[in-house]
């Protein structure tokens, strides 16, 4: 039946033995697909609204929507229709009958659902009794005047009012909802009355911390969004518990009001923690088609001086598979102060030493950097910060045509910059997102007054969105753009600050850094203006594997394209906007999806490959 053979019959017979034989006799019958689903009696709700929640429907391009008729699935659909009518105010609506007609000539089955809608109930008035305490900050209710009466919304609003009282310390508040209806022409008019009895208000007494052997008391209490004398808000207790978990110092955390009452209507709050060992040692390795084999080791101490300060030493390396030689070394000494001077600002600093000789780059690089920053969350998901960067970088082994394009790239570059940034992230999962938005804007300002020998400004922005299309089906797209400019003395942006495009994280189907202006020997030069667009649809397959189809595009331009130097592909036009499409397989792991992708060039040029294979771990945008 799942394959469409609705009338299939199977007979079982056990023949005498020994050995016994079990014989299945199968009569498949004809295969049927749903031709149409129609409704009779639906005057208040259109057919498209009724069909939307149903799984029983004609086949479509979506692989798992095969258009077969299954009795148990259809029964669930009828229940969903019943609840749908109640959410639209049809309290007496009934599913009278469901008829099926099988057409043996076309092998189609036609489904008709008979409905008696009854009268629709519309909310005409909303009353709030006993809610004066909420007058300063009244909660938003779902029930609205001149909208259909939805019993689920009424109950949700009752809980919303109860929670609003609890946030003010009235944790024993009782809220009831009463609905009265009367005839009103062709519909019924409803009056929804909420009545509240707040009870006694409780406030926070003492905050008692237990089992904090290494962590100082103020580190724990400053994470709690309440203090003595505040209303006892159950949500604040949970938020404090989550904030303490996020410190990463504790195996378990419990924040709860104690059973014994303090003086008057106060209740003491108990905080019980179980600490982790503060020292950690981590290591890991991986592979992707851009960097080859990568590995890291890190030693860290997460609770310096009992103040949740973190100090770490991390080393990374990369080995290119083409010649099995190390292509990158990176050392990173980091420090993090979670609460700068007990404010909401976080301070972090990193001291970096790097050497890279990757073949995908048209140059090699030695870099030393000191990068302190302050940042804070203005609200959940929204972070702002200011980063200072002092960098000494030396580019060497620069390809000849790249060096001819900008001889200053061979000089030692001193950069001292300020970088404000803002990041907003409300994705449901940072590793495997299915819904939500990620947005960021970063500015890098390196004036001569701070010590930069090539003053420049650089701006980079990104917008990514994930839209669920169904169970485990997600459409995602990303828009990224960057601009850079030397604003004193002219000349090109240094090669370490120019944009490069192409490869597994930008435009799949192209080799790394291959998009954009090239020199006389076809080496990528990078650019000072970049645009990158990505889109993909991911969906489940079998055995835990998922599939994806994608389309990418992007380009790198030079705002001042020099003439007479053999520079190619630097003109600002649509022809240099490269495009690709492809498909891939993915497997979800705790650290993100493992993906194997192949991208096809949609604008393949003479001498170029048809496409490229990409392998990586993690999301690319």
Burial of 63 (0-12, 13-18, 19+ CB in 10 A): exposed
Percent of the chain surpassing pLDDT 90: 83
**Alpha-carbon gap, residue 163 to 266, rounded angstroms:** 19
pLDDT at residue 18, rounded to an integer? 86
pLDDT category, 543, cuts 50, 70, 90? confident
Q: Which of 423, 439, 350 is nearest to 385 (CA)?
A: 423
Model confidence at 263: pLDDT above 60: no
pLDDT at residue 273, rounded to an integer? 95
Q: Are the C-beta atoms of 179 and 148 separated by less than 8 Å?
A: no
> What is the average pLDDT across 323-339?
93
Q: Could you read off the pLDDT of 140-163 as tens digits, one per residue?
A: 999 999 999 999 999 999 999 999
> What is the average pLDDT across 483-504?
92
CA 389 → CA 67, 322, 364, distances in Å? 59, 34, 21
Question: DSSP string spanning 489-556?
Answer: S--PPPTTTSB-B-STTSSTTS-TT-BS-B-TT--B--BSEEEEEEEEEEEE-STTEEEEEEEEEEEE
Tokens describing residue 612: 């490229």
**Alpha-carbon gap, residue 10 to 129, rounded angstroms:** 64
Percent of the chain surpassing pLDDT 70: 99
Task: For residue 338, report the phi and psi dihedrals to the nearest 5 degrees.
Answer: -70, -30
Averaged pLDDT of the chain:
93
pLDDT at residue 64, rounded to an integer? 67
> What is the average pLDDT across 30-57?
94
pLDDT at residue 274, rounded to an integer? 96
Model confidence at 302: pLDDT above 60: yes
> What is the average pLDDT across 407-427?
96
pLDDT at residue 171, rounded to an integer? 87
Q: Are the C-beta atoms of 500 and 524 separated by less than 8 Å?
A: yes
Beta-bridge partners for 467:
475
Task: For residue 347, report the phi and psi dihedrals to the nearest 5 degrees.
Answer: -110, 135
**Alpha-carbon gap, residue 308 to 210, rounded angstroms:** 17
Model confidence at 322: pLDDT above 80: no
> What is the average pLDDT across 25-43?
95
Q: Could you read off the pLDDT of 173-212 as tens digits, one per residue?
A: 999 999 999 999 999 999 999 999 999 999 999 999 999 9
Helix 234-246 vs helix 151-167: angle between axes, to the nearest 10 degrees? 80
Model confidence at 367: pLDDT above 90: yes
pLDDT category, 63, cuts 50, 70, 90? low
**Alpha-carbon gap, residue 599 to 554, rounded angstroms:** 14
Around Cβ 179, how many Cβ atoms within 10 Å? 15
Q: Which of 519, 468, 470 is nearest to 498 (CA)?
A: 519
**Cα dihedral 224/226/227/233 (nearest 10):** -130
> What is the average pLDDT across 232-236?
92
pLDDT category, 501, cuts 50, 70, 90? very high
Q: Are the C-beta atoms of 434 and 466 separated by less than 8 Å?
A: yes
pLDDT category, 260, cuts 50, 70, 90? low
**Alpha-carbon gap, residue 44 to 50, rounded angstroms:** 11
Which ranges constitute the DSSP H helices of 345-459? 400-405
Q: Could you read off the pLDDT of 565-600 as tens digits, one per residue?
A: 788 888 788 889 999 999 999 998 877 789 999 999
Residue identified by tokens 């192409």 is 502
pLDDT at residue 431, rounded to an integer? 85
pLDDT category, 261, cuts 50, 70, 90? low
């Amino acid at each position: 039946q799942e394959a469409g053979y609705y009338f299939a019959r199977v007979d079982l017979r056990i023949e005498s033995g020994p050995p016994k034989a079990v014989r299945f006799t199968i009569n498949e019958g004809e295969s049927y697909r749903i031709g149409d689903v129609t409704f009779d009696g639906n005057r208040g709700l259109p057919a498209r609204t009724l069909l939307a929640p149903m799984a029983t429907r004609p086949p479509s391009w979506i692989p798992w929507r095969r258009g077969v008729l299954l009795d148990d699935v259809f029964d669930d659909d009828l229940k969903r229709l019943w609840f749908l009518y109640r959410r639209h105010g049809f309290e007496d609506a009934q599913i009278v009958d469901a008829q099926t007609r099988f057409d043996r000539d076309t092998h189609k089955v036609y489904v008709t659902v008979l409905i008696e809608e009854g009268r629709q109930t519309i909310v005409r008035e909303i009353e709030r009794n006993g809610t004066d305490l909420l007058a300063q900050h009244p909660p938003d209710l779902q029930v609205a005047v001149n909208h259909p009466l939805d019993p689920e919304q009424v109950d949700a609003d009752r809980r919303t009012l109860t929670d609003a009282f609890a946030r003010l310390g009235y944790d024993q508040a009782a809220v009831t909802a009463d609905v009265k209806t009367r005839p009103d022409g062709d519909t019924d008019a409803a009056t929804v009355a909420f009545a509240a009895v707040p009870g006694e208000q409780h406030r926070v007494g003492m905050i008692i911390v237990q089992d904090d052997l290494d962590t100082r008391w103020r580190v724990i209490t400053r994470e709690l969004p309440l203090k003595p004398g505040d209303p006892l808000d159950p949500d604040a207790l949970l938020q404090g518990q989550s904030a303490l978990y996020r410190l990463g110092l504790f195996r378990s955390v419990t924040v709860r009001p104690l059973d014994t009452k303090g003086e008057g209507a106060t209740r003491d709050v108990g905080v019980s923690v179980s600490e982790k060992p503060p020292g950690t040692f981590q290591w890991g390795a991986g592979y992707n088609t851009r960097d080859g084999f990568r590995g890291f080791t890190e030693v860290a101490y997460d609770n310096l001086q009992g103040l949740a300060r973190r100090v770490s030493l991390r080393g990374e390396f990369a080995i290119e598979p083409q010649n099995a030689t190390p292509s990158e070394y990176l050392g990173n000494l980091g420090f993090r102060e979670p609460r700068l001077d007990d404010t909401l600002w976080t301070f972090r600093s990193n001291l970096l030493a790097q050497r890279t000789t990757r073949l995908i780059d048209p140059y090699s690089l030695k870099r030393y950097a000191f990068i302190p920053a302050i940042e804070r969350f203005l609200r959940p998901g929204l972070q702002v910060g200011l980063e200072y960067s002092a960098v000494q970088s030396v580019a060497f082994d620069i390809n000849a045509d790249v060096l001819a394009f900008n001889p200053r790239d061979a000089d030692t570059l001193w950069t001292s910059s300020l970088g404000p940034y803002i990041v907003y992230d409300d994705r449901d999962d940072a590793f495997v997102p299915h819904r939500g938005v990620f947005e960021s804007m970063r500015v890098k300002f390196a004036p001569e007054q701070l010590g930069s020998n090539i003053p420049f400004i650089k701006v980079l922005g990104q917008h990514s969105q994930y839209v669920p299309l169904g169970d485990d089906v997600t459409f995602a797209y990303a828009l990224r753009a960057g601009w850079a400019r030397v604003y004193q003395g002219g000349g090109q942006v240094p090669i370490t600050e120019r944009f490069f495009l192409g490869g597994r994280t930008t435009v799949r189907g192209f080799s790394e850094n291959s998009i954009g202006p090239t020199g006389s020997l076809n080496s990528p030069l990078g650019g000072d203006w970049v645009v990158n667009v990505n889109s993909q649809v991911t969906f489940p397959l079998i055995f835990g594997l998922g599939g994806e189809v994608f389309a990418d595009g992007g380009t790198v331009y030079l705002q001042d394209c020099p003439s007479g130097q053999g520079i190619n592909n630097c003109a600002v036009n649509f022809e240099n906007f490269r495009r690709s499409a492809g498909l891939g397989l993915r497997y979800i792991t705790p650290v993100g999806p493992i993906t194997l992708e192949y991208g096809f060039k949609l604008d393949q040029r003479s001498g170029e490959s048809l496409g490229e294979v990409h392998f990586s771990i993690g999301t690319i945008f």
